[in-house]
Amino acid sequence: MTRTVYVNGDYLPEDQARVSVFDRGFLMADGVYEVTSVLGGKLVDFDGHMVRLARSLAELDLAAPATPEELLAIHRELLRLNDVTDGMVYLQITRGAPADRDFAFPDPAVTPSTLVLFTQSKPGLADSPLARTGIKVISIEDIRWGRRDIKTVQLLYPSMGKMMAKKAGCDDAWMVEDGHVTEGTSNNAYIVRGKTIVTRHLGNEILAGITRAAVLRFAREAQMQVEERAFTIDEARAADEAFVTSATTFVMPVVEIDGTPVGAGTPGPVARRLREIYLEESRKVAI
Ligand code: PDD
How many structural domains are present in the chain?
A: 2
Residue 90 burial (C-beta neighbours within 10 Å; 0-12, 13-18, 19+): middle
**What CATH number has the domain bearing residue 153?**
3.20.10.10
Binding site membership of 144 for ligand 1 (Cβ less than 6 Å): no
Binding site membership of 187 for ligand 1 (Cβ less than 6 Å): yes
Q: Are residues 69 and 156 in the same domain?
A: no
Binding site membership of 248 for ligand 1 (Cβ less than 6 Å): yes
Catalytic annotation present for 195: no
Among candidate residues 97, 123, 149, the one where a domain is terminated: 123
Count Cα atoms within 13 angstroms, Cβ side, for 108.
11
| Predicted confidence pLDDT, tens digits, the chain (287 residues) | 799 999 999 999 999 999 999 999 999 999 999 999 999 999 999 999 999 999 999 999 999 999 999 999 999 999 999 999 999 999 999 999 999 999 999 999 999 999 999 999 999 999 999 999 999 999 999 999 999 999 999 999 999 999 999 999 999 999 999 999 999 999 999 999 999 999 999 999 999 999 999 999 999 999 999 999 999 999 999 999 999 999 999 999 999 999 999 999 999 999 999 999 999 999 999 99
Q: Are residues 184 and 227 in the same domain?
A: yes
DSSP string, the chain: -PPEEEETTEEEEGGG----TT-HHHHH--EEEEEEEEETTEESSHHHHHHHHHHHHHHTT---SS-HHHHHHHHHHHHHHHT-SSEEEEEEEE----SS--SSPPPTTTSPPEEEEEEEE-TTGGG-HHHHH-EEEEEEE--S-S-TTS-BS--HHHHHHHHHHHHTT-SEEEEEETTEEEEETTBEEEEEETTEEEEPPPSTTS---HHHHHHHHHHHHTT-EEEE----HHHHHTSSEEEEEETTTEEEEEEEETTEEPTTSS--HHHHHHHHHHHHHHHHH--
Q: Are residues 138 and 160 in the same domain?
A: yes
**What CATH number has the domain bearing residue 94?**
3.30.470.10
Q: Are residues 144 and 210 in the same domain?
A: yes
Q: Are residues 76 and 193 in the same domain?
A: no
Q: Are residues 38 and 84 in the same domain?
A: yes
Q: Determine the structural domain holding residue 60 and report its residue range.
A: 4-123
Question: Which of 174, 113, 166, 108 is closest to 144 using CA atoms?
Answer: 174
Q: Are residues 146 and 259 in the same domain?
A: yes
Q: Are residues 29 and 143 in the same domain?
A: no
| Best mutation site among 128, 199, 245, 246 for ligand 1 pocket (most ligand atoms within 8 Å of CB) | 246
Question: Which of 228, 252, 227 is closest to 241 using CA atoms?
Answer: 252
Among candidate residues 107, 123, 139, the one where a domain is terminated: 123
- For ligand 1, atom 11, which residue shows the shortest CA distance? 209
Q: Are residues 182 and 264 in the same domain?
A: yes
Among candidate residues 106, 123, 140, the one where a domain is terminated: 123
How far, in Å, is the centroid of ligand 1 from the Cα of 246? 5
Of how many residues is the chain composed? 287
Q: Which listed residue (151, 162, 166, 284) is catalytic?
A: 151
pTM over 0.85: yes
Q: Are residues 72 and 178 in the same domain?
A: no
Binding site membership of 245 for ligand 1 (Cβ less than 6 Å): yes
